[in-house]
Amino acid sequence: MSDNFDVEVPDIPLPEEEKTIEIEDTFRGAFKFAIIGAGQGGGRLAQTFWNMGYKRTAVINTSEQDLATIDMPDDRKLLIGTGGAGKNPAVAASLIKDKKEDVLDFMRRSFGPGFDRVFCCASAAGGTGSGTLLHLIDVAIELQQSLKTTSQKVGVVLALPKISEGQKLNANAYNVLRDVFALVEKGIVSPLILVDNEKISTLYPKLAVDPFWDTANRSLISLFHLFNLTSIRESRYTSFDPSDLKTILDSGLITFGATPVENWKDATGISFAIRNSLKKNILSGGVSIETGNTAGAMIIGSEEVLGQVPQVNLDTAFEQLTRILKPGNTVHRGIYRGNKPGLVVYTIIGGLGRPTDKLAELRKFGNVIDSAEPWPK
């Protein structure tokens, strides 16, 4: 008997394999980030990243109506429900559990290969964002592990509500912030960036309702983008390089600040600007800058100004930032020539401690009874 196992296969139409599409940002930065936004608030944040050129960006929602408000291509939108979550995180959590594989495939298609880290964006107050965030983080971890990305940590951009938004939304925000920071302490989430709408409303008190969200999101994300752009640029003075940025991105809770320097000729003018920058950072008001253990400070000025500013004034400013932070900290420095007049100081502070005051505030106004320790009462 012949051992011939060859089979004559007829011509059968087979589906073509889905080709992997390389997705590129519209700019060259130090790192390639993939962005996923959940819910209306997270979708707005993701859209801001998209508009700045981060093309590995996608959004999901439980509400078709809310999803339609996001100005991004339809193939970057995924509907995982029909009628929304009604500010109920449990509803959204159940929906994303059922759609986990769909979400994973959607993120894989939207991001392509070759990115460094996923960022999950959400509002802590709404039902969809707060209910899906922890599950999205799990999906992002699974995706990063399968692709062997350069970082296995997942970034989170989390918007916090105004106190006036009511008990239910403050309670949602408390529960999410508590759980996400627990992941920060385990080294799973980093960086965590908080967008505190209560703080932003005090920074822009005259801002109308229509441009509020766009201004709030751009204020934060443009600073994030600046550090990603600039850290890959050479400087004839002092460079803030990609390894400096990665150190800070891996440090947990971070914040940003920016302020122009008017009296740069004065011995303490730049130092004053740094202090002012930290007071006006776009972060939760319940976090202490003094708990930070790593930082970056970039001074960007016109060629005219940099040709005149005394070096000792710059050194004094950098040294002051070192004194403000937690003992044993590291401050990474950068001095760059910019295309705009004047001098501006940009700061990024990392390794910040638990936001206990903000958690206490959300817990109080959310009327949350939480036996979990060591969270504040």
- Chain centre to alpha carbon of residue 11: 51
Give residue 2's pLDDT: 55
Has residue 100 been placed in a domain?
yes
Give residue 377's pLDDT: 41
Provide block-wise average pLDDT over 10 residues at a time, the chain (377 residues).
62 67 90 96 96 97 93 96 81 91 96 95 92 96 94 95 89 94 96 88 75 80 95 92 96 91 87 78 72 92 92 88 88 92 92 90 87 49
Pair 291, 174 in one domain: no
Q: Which strands, in side-by-side order, build the sheet including 343-352?
A: 77-79, 57-61, 33-38, 117-123, 154-160, 189-196, 253-261, 343-352, 294-301, 330-337
Pair 212, 259 in one domain: no
Inter-residue contact 235 to 174 (CB < 8 Å) = no
Give residue 67's pLDDT: 94
Pair 147, 264 in one domain: no
Pair 151, 41 in one domain: yes
Pair 112, 199 in one domain: yes
Its pTM stands at 0.90
Has residue 233 been placed in a domain?
no
Structural domain that includes position 273: 251-356
Pair 272, 186 in one domain: no
> For residue 212, with 0-12 CB atoms within 10 Å meaning exposed, 13-18 middle and 19 or more buried, which class applies?
middle
Q: Is the peptide bond before 161 cis (omega within 30 degrees of 0)?
A: no
Give residue 337's pLDDT: 94
Has residue 199 been placed in a domain?
yes
Has residue 363 been placed in a domain?
no
Handedness of CA 18, 51, 284, 258 (dihedral sign): positive
Give residue 194's pLDDT: 92
Pair 136, 51 in one domain: yes
Pair 138, 266 in one domain: no
Give residue 263's pLDDT: 87
**C-alpha span between 7 and 9 (Å, rounded):** 6
Give residue 323's pLDDT: 87
Pair 180, 91 in one domain: yes
Give residue 4's pLDDT: 61
Has residue 187 been placed in a domain?
yes
β-bridge mates for residue 58, sequence order: 36
Give residue 40's pLDDT: 92
Pair 195, 103 in one domain: yes
The CATH number of whichever domain residue 105 belongs to comes to 3.40.50.1440
Has residue 369 been placed in a domain?
no
Number of domains in the chain: 2
Final residue of a structural domain among 228, 259, 286: 228
Burial 276-310 (b: 16+ CB within 10 A, else e): ebbeebbbbebbebebbbbbbbbbbbbeebbeebe
Pair 48, 146 in one domain: yes
Final residue of a structural domain among 228, 259, 280: 228
Has residue 345 been placed in a domain?
yes
Pair 301, 204 in one domain: no
Has residue 176 been placed in a domain?
yes
The CATH number of whichever domain residue 259 belongs to comes to 3.30.1330.190
Q: Dihedral angle at the C-alpha atoms of 245, 246, 250, 252, nearest 10 degrees?
A: 10
